[in-house]
Every structure is written in C-alpha cells, then in structure tokens.
Amino acid sequence: MAHFLLVQPFLDGYGGGERVCHNVIKTLLKQGQLVDLLTVNFDAQRYRIITGEEFPKQTSVHSLEKKVEIKPPFTIYKRHHVIVELLKTYRDCLKYDYVFCSQASSPFETIYLKNAKKYVGYVHFPEIHDDYQRSSVKKKAYLWLYKRWIEQGIAKFDLMFCNSFYTKENIERYWKKYGAKEPAVVYPPVDLTSFWCKTPLSQRHKRITYVARFISRKRHEIMKQLATDFPQYEFVSIGGATESDKEWVSNFTQALPQNYQVKTNLPQKELIKTLQDSRIYTHLMVGEHFGIAPVEGLASGCVPLVHDSGGMKEFIPNEYRWQTYAELKEKIARYMDASDAWENRRQELWEKIAELNPETFQENIWTNIKASLYEQ
C-alpha cells in the first residue's frame, strides 16, 4: 500500500478533468491505496452534481481556506499564483509517496512538491504551447513566461497519461524536446450506462443540443446562428459556468433567438433527459482534445455532428464530421429526419464507444501505474 497525493487545483467545472480526477481517486482506493486530494475550492455538494456520485469518504481533502475567484485580465498568471499558493501551503505538512497530477497540462506540482518518490500526470492537452505556436507576436509575449514555467516541470514526470492519440501527437510535438516521456493513451471515462437510449429519432423533439463549458473557445455563438437559420428547430446549449464565467455568459445570453435556450450547470439527470430527447448532438470546438460530451450524445441516441479535428476523429466517422458552417447546416438538414438510416448505423457506432467506460479507464490507469511505479 502506498500513499498518493492527487492534485486537481480547480475542481469546480463540469468537464473531462473533473471526471478523470474522480475516477483516478476511485481507482487508487479500489487498489487499497491511501489517497489525499489537494485542490483550491472544494464543495462536496457541487462535486456530487459534477460527478453524479458522493465524494469518497476515505479520501482526505486539503484546500485553501479562502474562496478563490479568478477573473480577467491576466487570467493564466492569476491561476498560476493560486496554484503555487496551494502547493506552498501544503508542501511541508503532507506526507505522501507519489504525486498524481490529474490536470498535468501545467505541471507545477513537480516543481513545488519535491518529496515524492515519483510523479504521475494525466495531460488533457499541451494547451499553452499550442496556443503560443498559433499566436501573434503580442500574444506570444503574454504567454512566454507561463510557457517557460511549464517547461521546467515536464521532464520530472515518471509516468504520463493522455486522453487521445491526437493529444499524444501534440505532447510529442511540443514537449518531447523538454524531456517528456512517451505518454500512455487512456481515454477518459464516460458513464455510458446512464446515457444509453434507443428511442428512435422520429419519436424525439426536433432539437439540436450542444454541451460544453461556457467559454469563448467552445464557440457557442454558432448555435445562435444555427437557431436563426433553422427557426423550425429547437436549439439548446448546456454547459458549466464558474463564477469567473458569469460575465461572459451574461453578455452571451443577450437577445437570444426564441428557439434557442442556454442552460448553465444543469444537473446530470436533466442533461441526460435533454440528450435522450434530442435528435442531433453537435460539437463546435475546433481541436477538441478528446470530447466526452459527443460520446454522451452518441450514447443517448443523437446523431453526433462534430468538427473534423481533434480526438473525436478517433471515434466519429467522416460522414458525421464537418469543417465549414455550410457543411454543418447541410448535415443538420440531412440527418434531422433520417430516422431509418440512423437506426441502422447507430449500433455500429455504439460498439466503437463501448470501451469508454469507467471500469476500462480504471483498469488501464492501474495497470500502467503498477508497471511503472511498482515493478521496476
């Protein structure tokens, strides 16, 4: 039995990072390990809403005593300040054998928590380096210092996981020269059992649903345009919104089309019900690192229309991918009433995503940890 310190600085969203954190905790506890969680703002009730389960009572939680809100400008540097404050607060008073960073896209834990025998990280995407590569000179100047801080901790990971082969390619592209070890691809866990639904399209509302956090890069504004162009259909955007996102959401929800609804922080049961009663799930982000929501939409029986980029290409075939707005419109019109054709195709796609369950995730995580940390 070993003692793991799991670090997830921000555990107040509604996305893949939170799901990964939850299932890593369950994995380690299932294998008889001791687990402590280090985070900034911890709310057991919100955690239950996010994950659909109670927080495991065997885990000790350590967090900052104050409530932390991060707002623009200089958001990433404010986040860095909070993370460093958290790590410094607990680095000398906690005992642990291994550190597991479940949001290791910014691996500051390896710099400040120096007492670990080894470090494990789950990387959702090397986002800062990708952003830096694509940015203007002005934006690069803003990102440069943060990028350098990240590079100092990359080589210290003894074991690295990532969420898709798309992410793996980008880790190797951006981080290999800084000493990153080859990451093991372990797809994020999806609670597929809760989402499976065989209701035919013909018995569902003519609704298009999108699930993603309410931030600019998720491109919810495309739903506004679609609702304007298809007044005969319903459109719904569902997503998490933290305190720091409230201003963005407030501005975004001004003058919405009558056939378009925005629902923030929807309870899991209502999210599932909405998907199971929709005909189409569309995903709008370019370069989605993996995409749990499209998998949930597909499991719910929706036709999944995803952007032709990122990790979803590993599960969604070309006929359901789009590149331009015109292509997306054409496919919405084509598949909205294609009930018979979809019923024949859906089972095949369900078989492809069946492996994306918590049990497989937990097994793959533990197999790699055991081989890397214990059997050398």
Identity of the amino acid at 235: F
Dist. CA 310–CA 101, nearest whole Å: 23
Torsion angle of alpha carbons 108, 31, 12, 268, nearest 10°? 150
Q: What is the pLDDT of residues 280-303, one digit of tens each?
A: 999 999 999 999 999 999 999 999
- Please measure the distance between the N-terminal and C-terminal CA atoms of the chain and give it in whole angstroms: 16
| Cα–Cα distance list, 78 to 11, 72, 147, 171, 230 (Å) | 16, 9, 14, 24, 41
Tell the burial category of 29 from Cβ atoms under 10 Å away from its Cβ (0-12, 13-18, 19+).
middle
| Complete domains list, the chain, with CATH | 3-189+357-374 (3.40.50.2000), 192-353 (3.40.50.2000)
C-beta atoms surrounding 118 within 10 Å: 17
* 195: phi then psi, degrees, rounded to nearest 5: -105, -25
pLDDT at 375: 64
Dist. CA 126–CA 123, nearest whole Å: 7
Contact 161, 290 (CB under 8 A): no
Q: Is the peptide bond before 107 cis (omega within 30 degrees of 0)?
A: no
Average pLDDT, 10 consecutive residues per value, the chain (376 residues): 95 79 96 96 83 90 86 90 96 95 93 95 96 96 97 96 97 97 96 94 97 92 97 95 81 94 90 97 95 95 97 95 98 95 93 94 97 77
Q: Identify the CA nearest to 330 among candidates 372, 275, 280.
A: 280
What DSSP state is assigned to residue 308?
A: S
pLDDT at 14: 63
Take residue 169 and report the two structure tokens written for it: 């390619």
The CA-CA-CA angle for residues 227, 232, 235, to 5°, reads 40
Take residue 286 and report the two structure tokens written for it: 């370019």
- Please report the beta strands in 107-222, taking only residues with DSSP state E, as ranges in sequence order: 118-123, 159-162, 184-185, 207-211
Which helix (H) or strand (E) segment holds residue 147: the answer is: helix 137-153
* 209: phi then psi, degrees, rounded to nearest 5: -120, 140
Dist. CA 140–CA 142, nearest whole Å: 5
pLDDT at 327: 98
Q: Identify the CA nearest to 333 among candidates 206, 210, 211.
A: 206
Q: How many Å separate Cα 330 from the centre of its chain?
A: 28
